[in-house]
Structure 1
Amino acid sequence: MLIALGVILAILGVAGMFWYLFQREFIFYAKSLWQMGFLIFQGVITVFISWNALKSKRYFFSWDEHTIHYLLPKDKQLEWIKISEIQSIEIGDKEIVLSLRNKEEKRININYFYLPKRTQVISYFQQLKEKLTV
């Protein structure tokens, strides 16, 4: 929706510029070149911000008996972790830190998840942490 609004604003600005260049008079919705330039700028910025927000909304998290699969908004590809490789789990307010047996740390930012899914993920990792300590 916002992307369409940004495109419309940019088109109105460009149309106003062309109208002024060819007709030598201002169009009814913009009475100066600054207003048309601002429409173009505002449209481009709206498209850019909306596109980045849309890209960062996608996330995925699932698990089975042997692996954990996840895709977070800033990641480029699907990540997976074998449960047998997890050495310890630290659960914080904003992230879950997994220490692996190969001395690697995986950080999962849980702020991306909405509340029902977030509590589900946290409870899964709490259960997994209890299994690891036993």
Structure 2
Amino acid sequence: HVQNDGEPGAGDEPGTPGWELHHPVEPSPAETVVRKTWDDGFEETSLGSLLTGHGVRSLVVCGVMSEMCVQATARTALALGYRVVMPHDAHATHDIPAAPGISDMVPAAAVSRVAEWALGSDLEVVARAADVVFTALPPRTG
């Protein structure tokens, strides 16, 4: 789990309802929560070393906002050589307001799809998070 620590007064300020992890993804006592202050979950956090230490080679990236934190974390994971899966129904964002003289409002669903597309052909997009299956890695030897 990666949790964003927003600025004081922000919707994701630590200790506020917008900061807390949503119940369906609440970590078990055996799971780690990596806290971050940048969009990219790898930037200035222990995420990379935690994944390496556990032998992780594949990631499923979910969360909010699709075009910011989700995309930034997925982009770094791809650059580091991880297999990255992004379930379409497990990341979200807001509508982009209209910009007079530039564009109409862009619906959130379109923004999320563009965020996936912009990550390129190495990203694996699946329709539903329920289609993702986790399997244990074989024990490390040597």
Q: Please give the TM-score of this superposition, normalised by the length of structure 2.
A: 0.25
Structure ranking higher in strand proportion:
1
Relative to total residues, which structure has the larger helix share, 1 or 2? 1
Work out which of the two has the higher radius of gyration on C-alpha atoms and give 1 or 2. 1
| TM-score (normalised: structure 1) | 0.26
Q: Which of 1 and 2 has higher RCO (CA within 8 Å, sep 6+)? A: 2
